[in-house]
Structure 1
Amino acid sequence: MTDPENPDWQPLSRRHISTREQALLEGVPDHLVRPLKTWLAKYLADHPKLTERVALQTRIALDTPDSEQLVEAASANDLSVLLDVVDVVLHLDKGLWWELDVAGPEPTMEAGMAEWIPDFSWPKGSKAAAVERLDEMLMDAGSAFEVDWLQRCLRRRVDATVASAAEQAMSKDAGTHLRAAWAATYGRHPDPAKAYDEAIRAAEAAAIPIVLPKGTRETLGKVHAHLRDAGDKWELAIDGTNDGSVAPLTEMIGLLWKGHVARHAGSPAFRPQRQDEAQMAVHLAATLVHWFSTGAIRPRRRSQA
């Protein structure tokens, strides 16, 4: 049965357009201005303390902590500031945090009646329900941004399957660094250097305890050197045609480590990391974290005679 909420569905006039041509929209396009302003004003209504904190963090001067005044001031010169305001609202609202982390959604009475009816939903009138509506609004408008429910902020929209895989990796011990790398890559204000730094740290946190557990000052570079020189002691879960050789893994780690050109300021190879490098590094690190934390990379078992 087709899911009517499928985000891949397109109106008739756009169904023939390839995914590559369906570019997501940066900033706040005209058709999103009114809905976004209405959502913000309603969400912040009767919350003067939160409104004032948001105004302070976004450097917007207000005569009084009024939500409508904040919305109008934010959109006066640059409409994209509205997205910054939304981003800060999601990050500062402790009431939303409580609903997401403690209270949680409620079972739906209609659960099981149809495939498209969810088993759980946010209570009507809750902040989480309002944020869910915001997420739908951004998706319907073709915005390049969506709600990051884990980090409680906005992030750049990525493929749902890729995002889900990354979120699973973030639940591992290296998840703190991976979450920071993800936020620095896909947040409202990307920071490629920080994203790459955190991607390296995430891979190190996952790999070092497995490959070099007795070391005290190990790096991803040393993990790479060990696997390159002593690869016959290790194997991958996939045997393939090369008997589980870790050569592909070694190449991946080498790519991530050697591509970190911004780690040594002053060296001949130093230059700022690019955004496309950071994106690739974060997803590569997520794969490495998953492999190391699930036993896909392990000491080679003795061959059976």
Structure 2
Amino acid sequence: MDNPALVVRAGLYSRSVTSKWIRLRDRLAGKTEPEPLWAEGIPDHINVPIRDWLYDVLRGFGMATPVAVRLKLPSKILQSRDPAAEISVLDDRMDPMLRVEVLDATLGCLHQATQGDWQDRQTVASYAQELEGILREGDSAFTVSEDSSGLEHRIDEALHATYGKAVEAGASKAQSAADHLRAAFNEAHGLKADPSAAYSRAIKAVEAVANPLFLPNEMEPTLGKVRSHLDQGRNKYEMVIADRNGAPANIDAVVAMISLLWHGQRDRHEGGPTTAPVTQEAAETAVHTAAVLVHWISAGSIRKK
């Protein structure tokens, strides 16, 4: 990396260095929980480092034009003497999400433009790490996505770790499972969430590992058929975890989770009496349920007797 300042800043804001820091007055008062996350736009206390980060990236990678076009910004911005500077301070009190969308669009354009060059990807990764550190230290409700292609809503670290383990386990069995799970997560937690797409991808992620294992000879396997297969063949399978008697537990929990996921997708078909749009809460639950199932199935937690 050619920019020494970036090296220093990336180190200061790295994921490994940042933590749930609590200020002194709160520690002295016995407070153990960090400050609540800022969900409305970019808070003032990180406005300057965000401005500097944007200017460095927009100027250094020539991203002002694609970002302005992607966000459909007024043409006067690109006609100004320094478009990168104009965009880096762009703000709208009536629309606090505009500044967040500028960050998201900048990451997206940067990710798209540097896919073919390994050295550029390394530099982009360092910039993404720096931005994530700023957002994290500033208690922002937004975080840089795993592939650095945009922003998403920050979720509990333990939950994110579970999701990461599921992606890793799924990839060991079927890359498509990992790809679907990543897409489902992004659709559920991205800035512009799509609950229906998230739910659909969650089901596909489970199907990618469950269909080959439980329905290897089925010409048109579905998660519904997997559910029926396991439901009717409960006595043929067991869990690696023990029940209260010390014997391998039955697969009732697995069948229940698959049933919940399968029946909960109420927008799969139109015109039925129970057809309904997928809510954001349902989509998030579906993605987390799928992550557990992908992990269990890929890791061999469900086995034949």
Query: Partner of 1:197 in structure 2?
Result: 200
Do the aligned partners of 1:96 and 1:128 also contact (CA within 8 Å) in 2? no
Query: Partner of 2:11 in structure 1?
Result: none
Distance (whole Å) between structure 1 residues aligned to residue 290 and residue 262 of structure 2 = 10
Correspondence for 1:218 among 217, 221, 231:
221
Query: Partner of 1:283 in structure 2?
Result: 288
- Relative to 1, partners in 2 of residues 1:41 and 1:178: Cα closer, same or farther, differing over 3 Å? same
Query: Partner of 1:34 in structure 2?
Result: 48
Query: Partner of 2:248 in structure 1?
Result: 243
Do the aligned partners of 2:40 and 2:96 also contact (CA within 8 Å) in 1? no
Do the aligned partners of 2:239 and 2:249 also contact (CA within 8 Å) in 1? yes
Distance (whole Å) between structure 1 residues aligned to residue 220 and residue 233 of structure 2 = 19
Do the aligned partners of 1:236 and 1:297 also contact (CA within 8 Å) in 2? yes
- Relative to 1, partners in 2 of residues 1:279 and 1:299: Cα closer, same or farther, differing over 3 Å? same
Amino acid of the residue matched to residue 132 of structure 1?
Q
Query: Partner of 2:64 in structure 1?
Result: 51
Distance (whole Å) between structure 2 residues aligned to residue 68 and residue 13 of structure 1 = 37
Amino acid of the residue matched to residue 83 of structure 1?
V
Q: Which has the higher contact order (CA 8 A, sep 6+)?
A: 2
Distance (whole Å) between structure 1 residues aligned to residue 155 and residue 166 of structure 2 = 16
Structure 1: 5+ residue stretches without partners: 106-121, 301-305
Query: Partner of 1:158 in structure 2?
Result: 155
TM-score (norm: length of structure 1): 0.81
Do the aligned partners of 2:238 and 2:250 also contact (CA within 8 Å) in 1? yes
- Three-state SS of the structure 2 residue aligned to 1:298 is strand
Do the aligned partners of 2:90 and 2:99 also contact (CA within 8 Å) in 1? no
Q: Matches of residues 8-157 of structure 1 in structure 2 within 5 Å? A: 8-15=20-27, 16-17=30-31, 19=33, 22-48=36-62, 50-63=63-76, 64=78, 66-73=83-90, 75=92, 78-94=95-111, 97=115, 102-103=118-119, 126-157=123-154
* Matched residues, number: 276
Query: Partner of 2:272 in structure 1?
Result: 267
Amino acid of the residue matched to residue 260 of structure 1?
Q
- Relative to 1, partners in 2 of residues 1:4 and 1:197: Cα closer, same or farther, differing over 3 Å? closer
- Relative to 1, partners in 2 of residues 1:190 and 1:17: Cα closer, same or farther, differing over 3 Å? farther
- Three-state SS of the structure 1 residue aligned to 2:285 is helix
Query: Partner of 1:228 in structure 2?
Result: 231
- Three-state SS of the structure 2 residue aligned to 1:155 is strand
Amino acid of the residue matched to residue 185 of structure 1?
A
Which protein is richer in helix relative to its size?
A: 2
